[in-house]
Structure 1
Amino acid sequence: MRDWLPYCGAAPVPADLLGRWNLDPLLLLALALGSWGLWRLARNPLQRRLIVASAALALILFVSPFCALSSALFSARVTHHVLLAAVLAPLLVYGMPQERSRLPGSLALWTGLQAATFWLWHAPGIYAAALSSNAVYWSMQLTITGTAFGFWAAVRRASSLSAVAGLLVSTVQMGLLGALITFAGNPLYAPHIFTTEPWGFSALEDQQTAGLIMWAPSAALYLAAALIIARRWLADQDREATA
């Protein structure tokens, strides 16, 4: 049996979890400087609240014991990735002035890049590599967050119909990947084969839970954003029609 040692440390057992804070000084410095820089860019109280929320979420994901939990459970790791792509990234985008969040490339390009990146890192061999090397691990985190940032920035500047289309495509691809993971007949993710039993799951049950998280709650986040934008567009159309 191979001993996996991810960035967040060896897989904990339940009794050890609450003591497993990640106090990596380089990480804490990066989070502090990044949050300070984004705070300075914010132009109004709402943007500042979004930056505070993004900093709090980053602390939960990378500093709190949840980081260690993601070494034990693939379902926690998938939750981590979903929160990066569907919560942290839009918090960062909408916490900045629109011109500061603008990146080159169309919404179609960023929709494809986000989907390809998410699928790539959940290929079993590439996922295992990320839990074997800190450099590959941080490549995973930065590319998932970065392509999601580009996607949400493109949604922000797109027309309502284009934004809804991009979000619906993201809903479908996230659900499809989740379904494939859910219905796989065997455990696919080697780093978690022997880490789930202390938590009351078999490796396959943990993997199925991860697939369901990706299939339903994560896809629902993109769908909810699409519905909000569609509702606002319809309200604008009604106001124009009655003006």
Structure 2
Amino acid sequence: MQNEPASLIAYCGAPPVPATLAGAWNLDPVLLAALALWAGLLLRHPGRIAGWSAWMLAVLVFVSPLCNLTSALFSARVVHHVLLTAAIVPLALAGLSARLRERLQVLGPGAAVLLHAAAMWAWHAPGPYAWALSTVPGYWLMQATLAGSAAAVWLCVLGAERGAATIAAGGTFLQMGFLGAIILFAGQPLYAPHLLTTAPWGLSALADQQLAGLVMWVLGALPYMGALLWQAARLAEDLPDPAEAAR
């Protein structure tokens, strides 16, 4: 039973210790081929800095030792999820043309927020989380549904309709903060894969979980708060000038 949590890690490798982390790069050939294909597409539009930024962050979360660290620390896994949904996805979409983003936007803001909330809350529930880490298909299903539902939100945020963008950013900001707070204040370790893997990093399983909740509550919500403030400023620009209206 002592080795059970380690056996639950299917894709990113066995939980590392500090001495082994630096050499723990993920060289999965299928993943590297997909990243190479993405880079080839980006080379056709080398001036799109946002797209390249998304690509480099994808290398960080899927290829660098951060991938292996997520096997040991739930807090590292949450950093991975935050970078995927609140940085890689919006940057990748920002690198597309406005016309293409408009064609991809098939959900309204309310549906997009609910879809993303469902994915976030489902995969951060203890049972589905442990299953996602126990099989390679489960791991990639988690990545795909988190990224896909985040894309639905960010397509609304980056769209031309300012009211819809405000709803999408505000709703996601609230649900991310609420989920992070629940994880932070749970009071007991919830995630079986990390019960025996955090000690080499100087953390108890509960302390690691609390750090994860703080990351999601604060850092995970910041991009949506920024988007919300940006949209609020854009909406304010549309309001009539009181001085002009009085004339």
Asked if Structure 1 and Structure 2 have the same fold, meaning a TM-score greater than 0.5 normalized by the shorter chain, the answer is: yes
Quote how far apart the aligned CAs of 1:91 are: 0.5
1:74-93 maps to which residues of 2 (within 5 A)? 74-93=74-93
Quote how far apart the aligned CAs of 1:39 are: 4.7
Quote how far apart the aligned CAs of 1:225 are: 1.0
Map of 2:207 onto structure 1: 205
TM-score (norm 1): 0.92
Map of 1:178 onto structure 2: 180
Quote how far apart the aligned CAs of 1:74 are: 0.1
For the residues of structure 1 that align with 2:170 and 2:153, how far apart are their CA atoms? 13
Match status 1:33 vs 2:37? yes
Match status 1:107 vs 2:109? yes
Map of 2:190 onto structure 1: 188
Match status 1:14 vs 2:57? no
Map of 1:227 onto structure 2: 229
For the residues of structure 2 that align with 1:229 and 1:241, how far apart are their CA atoms? 23
Q: CA RMSD in A?
A: 1.9
Unaligned runs of 5+ in 1: none
Rate the CA distance shift 1:106–1:240 in 2: closer, same or farther, 3 A: farther
Number of aligned residue pairs: 239
Query: Which one of 129, 132, 135 corresponds to residue 133 of structure 1?
Result: 135
Worse overlay, 10-19 or 103-112: 103-112
Map of 2:58 onto structure 1: 58
Amino acid at match of 1:25: P
Amino acid at match of 1:21: W
For the residues of structure 2 that align with 1:153 and 1:239, how far apart are their CA atoms? 30
Percent identity of equivalent pairs: 49
For the residues of structure 2 that align with 1:241 and 1:120, how far apart are their CA atoms? 50
For the residues of structure 1 that align with 2:160 and 2:125, how far apart are their CA atoms? 31
Contact (CA 8 Å) 1:107, 1:158: kept in 2 or not? Answer: no
Quote how far apart the aligned CAs of 1:160 are: 1.6
For the residues of structure 1 that align with 2:93 and 2:201, how far apart are their CA atoms? 36
Contact (CA 8 Å) 2:75, 2:215: kept in 1 or not? Answer: yes
Rate the CA distance shift 1:240–1:61 in 2: closer, same or farther, 3 A: farther
Contact (CA 8 Å) 2:156, 2:164: kept in 1 or not? Answer: no
Quote how far apart the aligned CAs of 1:228 are: 1.4
Unaligned runs of 5+ in 2: none
Amino acid at match of 1:74: F
Match of 2:105, SS state, is: coil
Map of 1:143 onto structure 2: 145
Contact (CA 8 Å) 1:17, 1:65: kept in 2 or not? Answer: yes
TM-score (norm 2): 0.91
Rate the CA distance shift 1:39–1:95 in 2: closer, same or farther, 3 A: farther
For the residues of structure 1 that align with 2:153 and 2:82, how far apart are their CA atoms? 14
